[in-house]
Structure 1
């Protein structure tokens, strides 16, 4: 009975030595898919973080703007140029003064305002860019796919 166990052990050692290279081959085949999954998850998380930051800054700026807006003689809303600049700074920097940008490449041209009756609408169109690559290469199977797209945040409030 002892000799049978030794024979099984010797046979399993022989099979183990034959399969040592298969783990490296399997890892090489699976690694690109794992990296794609990890990088895609990181990009999606970054996208959600930047979209949340954009929405929060537009909401805060809209609240500030509606509190500063003044109703004129014909129930028209008037907003001073200084207030517009402060609102743009709130959206871009998160505060009234110039500091670090909340979102990279967010310009004053991306911010628009509209007044309709008692309502003030702020719309920001932010061109989101991925970190790792701007395009997804199709390896000659067709046109490369552009991965950048606009994040649009709109907030409407009634002037106080």
Structure 2
């Protein structure tokens, strides 16, 4: 009788290990989804912060270089090119893009009186966006959305 009790304990332990593997297999997709969603949200916040920082610095540069004479403000084409380069690359002399998919067409510079305004609409794209397709039924699903950064400064 002593021997049969030990066999029951051994069988019970193996069954529990099997249930743990099944439970882990059922929970794993949800855990991975949570981990990847958290990583994507962190990347979104990082890119939004980088966009705000570069737009703020470009606004300072533009505000300091928009004045022509006493009371006359204008954005010269050379300055506009440098500001757009500042926003796209992080500095006027860099060639490494700061954010992927950021183009000059999403950057708007304007001058109103003594105030310069820069408005950038960056089309943020999740890393795994190419995985969401319509399975051959049509165009891919676009899950990008714009991160908008606007700064207004007085020209000095």
Alpha-carbon separation, structure 1, partners of 2:115 and 2:13: 74
Alpha-carbon separation, structure 2, partners of 1:120 and 1:66: 6
Q: Which residue of 2 aligns with 1:58?
A: 55
Query: How far 1:48 sits from its partner (Å)?
Result: 0.4
What are the Cα deviations for residues 28-76 of structure 1, in whole angstroms up to 9, with x where unaligned?
Answer: 1001100100110010000000000000000000001101111546x33
Query: How far 1:135 sits from its partner (Å)?
Result: 7.2
Q: Among residues 97, 100, 103, which one is paired with 2:99 in the alignment?
A: 103
Q: Among residues 11, 25, 29, which one is paired with 1:32 in the alignment?
A: 29
Q: Which residue of 1 aligns with 2:79?
A: 83
Larger Rg: 1
Query: Structure 2 stretches of 5 or more lacking a match?
Result: 135-139
- The total of aligned residue pairs comes to 152
The structure with more strand, counted as a fraction of residues: 1
* Aligned residues of 1:72 and 1:78 also touching (Cα < 8 A): no
Q: Which residue of 2 aligns with 1:124?
A: 120
Q: Which residue of 2 aligns with 1:42?
A: 39
* Aligned residues of 1:134 and 1:147 also touching (Cα < 8 A): no
Alpha-carbon separation, structure 2, partners of 1:30 and 1:137: 25
Query: How far 1:145 sits from its partner (Å)?
Result: 7.0
What are the Cα deviations for residues 74-133 of structure 1, in whole angstroms up to 9, with x where unaligned?
Answer: x33112111111101110001112411000011110100111111111000000000012
DSSP 3-state at the match of 1:79: coil
Runs of 4+ with deviation above 6 angstroms: none
RMSD: 2.4
Query: Structure 1 stretches of 5 or more lacking a match?
Result: 139-143
